[in-house]
Amino acid sequence: MKSKFLREVYEFMLSRGYAKRTIETYLTWITDFIRYHNYARPQEMDAQHVESYLTYLAIQKQCAKSTQAIALNALLFLYNKYLDLPLPEDMSFLNSKRERKLPVVLTQSEVRALLGRVSAQHYLAVALLYGSGLRLMECVRLRTGDIDFDYKCLRVWFGKGGKHRIVTLSESLIPLLTSQIGQVDQLLSRDLTVPEFSGAWIPQGLRKKYHSRNKTLEWQYLFPSRRLSVDPETKLLRRHHIDEKQLQRNVKRASQEAGIKKHVTPHTLRHSFATHLLAAGADIRTVQHQLGHSDVRTTQIYTHVLQQGGNGVISPLSRLIL
């Protein structure tokens, strides 16, 4: 990170316990904001500059509403919390009108074909993306203690928006999960012989309460990285989870080998999970809770995929004998 200013923002967020992904996202938008204004110092800009940038995202860049909202959150953090130059609540900028795209959904046969070509090393993680409807980062951040074998469910902590939820667990994955936890236990035994090993990373708010338990099996990542590494926040030696890019690459490769012509990402498996639940007769409120959506309208987008044509209307061409 070449910019001294951005490095200081990074250190500020790190010291206050912001998630790594949040830090990366905010720094990306702050950098783009500065670049848009010809590298002017943020301290010398004001609300009008922010409004101009957000309008630019809506008009020239044609960003989606959610993307523009993330950029706004990054700039609110920059001015309200870091620079202590609060932006007015009644800023005037053009809201993005671009609607969300309908989700890409795989058929069950396509999911089967994709899973059949995922590497053995990453099969369990990819299967959980579909089988439990997890977001990519929710999957790689799972701890061994988040698996409830008795009730066949997963506990997702600090999901999107910092929310917790319980999701279903496919019984077919239990033997693989048991084996995976056994491997993590062996890895932990080796790590405990390293004098510098400081246990698993724990969210800042829980460190006082659980400071002595981060070397227990339940707190270790279910999908650990191959190597120990230094935590950039605490400078302590830990074992992090696998890089999410591993799963992204694996899913892309598997979909290509399966001959799937759709644009497939790990999130496509979450879309497919929701659509297949609804197709099987699950109540939309149940699916909403499984996905962790705050608003049922977000979940309703999957009903559009299931409808025949517009609003379930059958085309008159289908009734013709050609």
State yes or no: is 293 an active-site residue.
Answer: yes
Catalytic residue, candidates 61, 65, 165, 267:
267
Residue 304: how many CA atoms within 13 Å on its side-chain side? 12
Rounded CA gap, 41 and 51, in Å? 16
Q: How far apart are CA 130 and CA 126, in angstroms?
A: 7
- CA dist 257 and 250 (Å) reads 11
Active site residue 267: yes
List 53, 130, 135, 240, catalytic entry: 135
73 touches 80 (CB < 8 A): no
Distance CA 80, CA 90 (A): 14
Inter-residue contact 180 to 139 (CB < 8 Å): no
What is the distance between the alpha carbons of residues 302 and 317, in angstroms, rounded to a whole number?
25
Tokens coding 85: 């130059």
Q: What is d(CA 195, CA 23) in angstroms, rounded to the nearest whole number?
A: 30
Active-site residue (options: 238, 241, 270, 271): 270
80 close to 87: Cβ distance less than 8 angstroms: yes
- Please check whether residue 129 is in contact with residue 138, taking contact to mean a CB–CB distance below 8 angstroms: no
Is 276 in the active site?
Answer: no
Rg of the chain taking only CA atoms, in angstroms: 23
Under a CB-based contact definition with an 8 Å cutoff, are residues 164 and 158 in contact? yes
Active-site residue identified among 21, 160, 164, 249:
160
Residues catalogued as catalytic: 135, 160, 267, 270, 293, 302
